[in-house]
Amino acid sequence: MKGTNLETEKAVNIIETILFVSEEPVSVKKLEEVLDEFPPEKISECLGMLGERLENHGLELVEIAEGWQMRTRPAMGEWVKKFHKISRSTRLSRAALEVLSIVAYRQPITRQEVEDIRGVDSSGIVKKLLEKNLIRLLGRRRLPGKPMTFGTSKKFLEYFGLVKLSDLPALKDFAGKFNEAEQTDFVFATESASEEKEPADILLEQEVEMIEPVEEDYEESLDEEESFGEI
């Protein structure tokens, strides 16, 4: 029994080390692979121990983006900024956040569909979000012109401190902050909205099987669309 304790202690150290050297959040599965001689069911216990161990530290253990990561505590933020001479934090624009939320809830989605919802050209923003790796290419839709479809990335989860997509509040909870009396009239609108959503789900299934290597031509086709301007 003594041995196992030692083992656990050691496993915690190893996990700590891995999380330290990894640039990205590390999934439990990945940890299991590395600690292959350690009982996998005890990994989460080790993570708990590591979390406790870091209690009075500048770092903390966080579950994020489908994995685990050691991050600086919020109170340490100003010191990191001082060290890195970060003068100001750049945030995403309203428009960029809007596009992200549409992509997050409606993925896979084409740029055209994003624009249909926003009612305004969004190509520059989509390009920018791709560059920032907040969204990624999922595939192409089986429609004339084979438009590309986009979805959110792991980076997106990390950027917003989410563990997984399903942690997002349900879209229907954003039924609008209009007054209660009006809400009742609203029922039919939500119903039709949810009807509309189903085709997207079906398309998701179709798309899984048709993720093609699109990387090469997507840059091209984005360029063709000219005039991105600065977003």
Residue of 87, 215, 216, 226 interacting with other proteins (CB under 8 A)? 87
Of the pair 47, 70, the CB lying nearest other proteins is at: 70
Nearest-angstrom CA–CA distance, 74 and 223: 40
Judged by CB under 8 A, does residue 178 bind other proteins?
Answer: yes
Q: Are strands 135-140 and 109-110 parallel, antiparallel or unpaired?
A: unpaired
Judged by CB under 8 A, does residue 199 bind other proteins?
Answer: no
Instruction: Count the residues of the shown chain that bind other proteins, applying the rule CB under 8 A.
Output: 67
- Region 105-134 residues binding other proteins, contact defined as CB under 8 A: 105, 117-121, 124, 128, 132
Judged by CB under 8 A, does residue 93 bind other proteins?
Answer: yes
DSSP conformational letter for 99 = H
Judged by CB under 8 A, does residue 187 bind other proteins?
Answer: no
List CB contacts of 198: < 8 A, sequence separation 6 or more. none
Residue of 160, 165, 217, 222 interacting with other proteins (CB under 8 A)? 160
Judged by CB under 8 A, does residue 200 bind other proteins?
Answer: no
Could you count the other beta carbons within 10 Å of the beta carbon of residue 20? 9
- Selection from 210, 187, 74, 79 nearest residue 138 by Cα: 210
Nearest distance in Å: CB 122, other proteins = 9
Judged by CB under 8 A, does residue 89 bind other proteins?
Answer: yes
List CB contacts of 126: < 8 A, sequence separation 6 or more. 99, 111, 114, 135, 150
Per CB under 8 A, which region of 6-14, 48-56, 135-143, 177-185 contacts other proteins?
177-185
Q: ∠169-175-180 over CA atoms, to 5°?
A: 125
Per CB under 8 A, which region of 6-14, 40-48, 154-162, 210-218 contacts other proteins?
154-162
What angle separates helix 111-118 from helix 94-106, to the nearest 10 degrees? 120
User: Are 15 and 54 a contacting pair, CB within 8 Å?
Assistant: no
Q: Note the residues at the interface with other proteins (CB under 8 A).
A: 20, 22-25, 62, 69-78, 80, 84, 86-98, 100-102, 104-105, 117-121, 124, 128, 132, 158-162, 167-169, 171, 174-178, 182, 185-186, 189, 192-193, 229-231
